[in-house]
Amino acid sequence: MTQTYSKSRQAAEIAFGNLQTQLFAKNHAMDELEAIAQSRVAKTQRLREARLAKELADRTSATSALLAKRGQRG
């Protein structure tokens, strides 16, 4: 059975539907922003780990070069 609504009720239903669409769009935007923030954190972590590994490798090679120099002197 189909119900017929008054014009004001129809207008209210349309307005409510539009509002829900906007809210869902905002929720989707928030999900996108959260995903971007999470990817930024992950990228920062990867870069930090790479930098620390490079610094460790540089220190190790510098130390071994210094020890090799000392070995040549003595």
For residue 48, the Cα-to-chain-centroid distance in whole angstroms is 15
Contact 41, 49 (CB under 8 A): no
Domain ranges of the chain: 31-74
Contact 13, 5 (CB under 8 A): yes
Residue 1 pLDDT exceeds 50: no
CA–CA distance, 69 with 74 (Å, rounded to integer):
9
Let me know the angle formed at the C-alpha of 57 by 53 and 58, rounded to the nearest 5 degrees: 115
pTM (2 d.p.): 0.55
Encode pLDDT of 7-59 as tens digits: 898 888 888 888 888 777 777 778 888 899 999 999 999 999 999 999 999 99
